């Protein structure tokens, strides 16, 4: 499927919301491909994923209403409000930064304000990418290893894999919700009283004046890791092999993209050079032992780039705020 095919698809009734929703239409600043088409890892059966940025209304910015993002799950379309988009970029969120690094030919809508965001992408980049890209890749790798180990490892080692996956997400949880210390939320493995388990993950919680909703979300994120691991015991081996290959492909892609960011090469979402390599991974050309060797190599490159990066500790918040106000001023006359 080429870009003209995608543009034609967007003109069908399935995407009518792009023209009729009050937060979209002429408010859209950027609309671009996402997923495999944006990465250049697509095959004939690949779906169309769309991502974008839209301008909040005056009511959203100054009135009682609010808007963070629009999502249509049927078409896999997500369009972020400008303020949320900028905050996610400041946190070096990999999925959102990709929007600023897609191929120019893949831009389905781009306004002057949207181009302003893409032209100033360096303002968002910082050493935060070490955590966001590195932790995400590490968590993905642990899930992959967990999936492959489910039949071979004794229960105690499987439990350790689950704990490692949860602990790998702790920094992300601390950034996303109100931060906490190891003394306040501590996870560890101990002997289990359950007949079917030798060991079990336990948690000690000692929190005071902590937001209940944040605690609920932290528990939910941890619980999802446990549930996802349990699902692996009931998977279709052929179908899941394809899924794991795709998962491994994106893991390596993420490490390569993150390394380039840390090396000062910007955000390059479109991976033409690695296309054949990525598709070979997806098709199962490599054994898992070979894949893990490659992952180790790309992880090493990522760590070397992290240690030597010249990116600032924090993004340029002041300049980003000026950029955001400039966009709002041009659109809604604020500050004029």
CA dist., res. 302 & res. 297, Å (int): 9
Contacts of 295 (CB under 8 A, 6+ apart): 141, 248, 251, 252, 255
Residue 141 counted as domain residue: no
Q: Are residues 119 and 177 in the same domain?
A: no
Q: Are residues 222 and 248 in the same domain?
A: no
Residue 264 counted as domain residue: yes
Residue 149 counted as domain residue: no
Three-class secondary structure assignment of 275-298: HHHHHHHHCCCCCHHHHHHHHHHH
Split at pLDDT 50, 70, 90, the class of 257 is: very high
Q: Are residues 222 and 269 in the same domain?
A: no
Residue 144 counted as domain residue: no
Split at pLDDT 50, 70, 90, the class of 106 is: very high
- Average pLDDT over all residues of the chain: 90
Checking if the pLDDT of 234 tops 60, the result is: no
- Cα first-last separation, the chain: 44
Q: Which of 186, 205, 234 is the last residue of a domain?
A: 234
Indicate the SS3 state at residue 85.
helix
Checking if the pLDDT of 335 tops 60, the result is: no
Residue 140 counted as domain residue: no
Q: Are residues 216 and 269 in the same domain?
A: no
Q: Which of 204, 219, 234 is the last residue of a domain?
A: 234
- What CATH number should be reported for the domain holding residue 326? 3.30.460
Residue 129 counted as domain residue: no
Q: Are residues 8 and 117 in the same domain?
A: yes
CA dist., res. 176 & res. 178, Å (int): 7
Q: Are residues 208 and 242 in the same domain?
A: no
Q: Are residues 48 and 109 in the same domain?
A: yes
Question: How many independent structural domains does the chain possess?
Answer: 3
Q: Which of 171, 202, 234 is the last residue of a domain?
A: 234
Checking if the pLDDT of 205 tops 80, the result is: yes
Split at pLDDT 50, 70, 90, the class of 247 is: confident
Q: Are residues 68 and 36 in the same domain?
A: yes
Q: Are residues 11 and 66 in the same domain?
A: yes
- The arithmetic mean of pLDDT across residues 64-72, rounded, is 90
Split at pLDDT 50, 70, 90, the class of 156 is: confident
Q: Are residues 97 and 113 in the same domain?
A: yes
Higher pLDDT: 66 or 255? It is 255
Q: What would the pLDDT profile of 120-147 be if each residue is shown by its tens digit?
A: 999 999 999 999 998 778 777 776 776 6
Structural domain span for residue 207: 154-234
Partners of 69 in the β-ladder: 80
> Is the CB of residue 70 less than 8 Å from the CB of residue 3?
no
Residue 132 counted as domain residue: no
Residue 146 counted as domain residue: no
CA dist., res. 14 & res. 107, Å (int): 19
Question: How many other C-beta atoms lie within 10 A of the C-beta of residue 43?
Answer: 9
CA dist., res. 69 & res. 49, Å (int): 15
Q: Are residues 80 and 18 in the same domain?
A: yes
Q: Are residues 108 and 7 in the same domain?
A: yes
């Amino acid at each position: 499927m080429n870009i003209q095919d995608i543009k034609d698809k967007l003109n069908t009734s399935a995407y009518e919301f792009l023209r009729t929703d009050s937060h979209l239409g002429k408010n859209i600043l950027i609309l671009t491909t996402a997923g495999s088409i944006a990465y250049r890892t697509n095959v004939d059966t690949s779906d169309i994923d769309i991502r974008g940025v839209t301008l909040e209304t005056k009511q959203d910015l100054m009135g009682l209403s609010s808007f963070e993002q629009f999502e249509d799950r049927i078409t896999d379309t997500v369009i972020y409000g400008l303020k949320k988009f900028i905050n996610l970029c400041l946190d070096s969120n990999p999925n959102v930064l990709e929007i600023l690094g897609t191929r120019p030919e893949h831009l389905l809508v781009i306004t002057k304000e949207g181009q302003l965001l893409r032209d100033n992408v360096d303002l968002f980049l910082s050493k935060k990418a070490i955590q966001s890209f590195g932790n995400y890749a590490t968590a993905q790798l642990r899930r992959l290893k967990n999936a492959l180990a489910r039949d071979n490892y004794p229960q105690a080692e499987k439990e350790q894999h689950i704990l490692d996956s949860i602990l790998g997400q702790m920094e992300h949880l601390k950034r996303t919700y109100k931060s906490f210390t190891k003394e306040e939320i501590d996870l560890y493995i101990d002997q289990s009283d359950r007949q079917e388990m030798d060991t079990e993950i336990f948690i000690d919680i000692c929190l005071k004046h902590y937001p209940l909703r944040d605690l609920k979300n932290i528990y939910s994120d941890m619980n999802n890791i446990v549930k996802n691991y349990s699902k692996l015991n009931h998977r279709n081996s052929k179908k899941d092999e394809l899924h794991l290959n795709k998962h491994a492909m994106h893991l390596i892609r993420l490490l390569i993209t993150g390394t380039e960011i840390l090396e000062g090469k910007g955000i390059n979402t479109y991976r033409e050079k690695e296309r054949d390599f990525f598709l070979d991974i997806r098709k199962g050309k490599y054994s898992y032992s070979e894949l893990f060797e490659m992952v180790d190599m790309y992880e090493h490159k990522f760590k070397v780039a992290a240690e030597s990066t010249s990116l600032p500790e924090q993004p340029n918040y002041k300049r980003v705020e000026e950029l955001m106000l400039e966009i709002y001023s041009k659109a809604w006359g604020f500050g004029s």
